[in-house]
Amino acid sequence: MARPGSEHPTELELEILKILWDEAPLPVRDVRARLEAQAARPLAHSSVITTLNIMFHKGFVKRKKDGKSFLFSPRLQKKAVTGGIVGDLLSRVFDGSSSALVMNLIETADLDSDELAALRKLIARKAKEQQQ
């Protein structure tokens, strides 16, 4: 039996979205070149176009005819995608507990002093907002 589809992008779809968020619109050949540079492995043109077409049908990207080819752009905003993925992780792994997710991240991630300082500032700002 086939696995049910996810409302979230697959790993490859997310990599493509990251490329398109940085620079769009792009033809398939440019998306493929950027993917290959990141992955340091060859990817078939047909695999990339198939994935982009699946993403188009899922509503993740839009395409515009440009001569004989298509130019692809993201339809989804980065914030919406990341928020959805984090929300899914939060509910499935941490039973909806934001503090458990953040504490796990702080405990397991290799945070440098700048990142820790930024987290302290954010926590202080959120605490101040709660008092108002």
pLDDT at 79 (0 to 100): 94
Domain that holds residue 39: 11-74
Q: 61 and 46 share a domain?
A: yes
- Of the candidates 106, 16, 103, 108, the one whose C-alpha atom is nearest the C-alpha of residue 58 is 16
Mean of the pLDDT values across residues 105-123?
92
Q: Is the same domain home to 50 and 94? A: no
For position 52, what pLDDT does the model report?
97
- For 102-113, write each residue's pLDDT tens digit: 899 889 999 999
Give me the pLDDT at residue 132, please. 81
Inside any domain, residue 21: yes
Residues 31, 72: contact at Cβ < 8 Å? yes
Question: Helices 11-22 & 45-58, crossing angle to 10 degrees?
Answer: 90
Residue 3 clears pLDDT 70, i.e. is over it:
no
DSSP state letter for 109:
S
CATH number at residue 65: 1.10.10.10
Number of domains in the chain: 2
CA torsion 79→72→20→42, rounded to 10°?
A: 130
Identify whether the C-beta of residue 47 lies closer than 8 Å to the C-beta of residue 86. Answer: no
Which H or E element spans position 92? Answer: helix 78-93
Residue 5 has pLDDT above 80, yes or no: no
Mean pLDDT rounded to a whole number for the chain: 91
Do 50 and 24 belong together in one domain? yes
Q: Which residues pair with 64 in a beta bridge?
A: 71
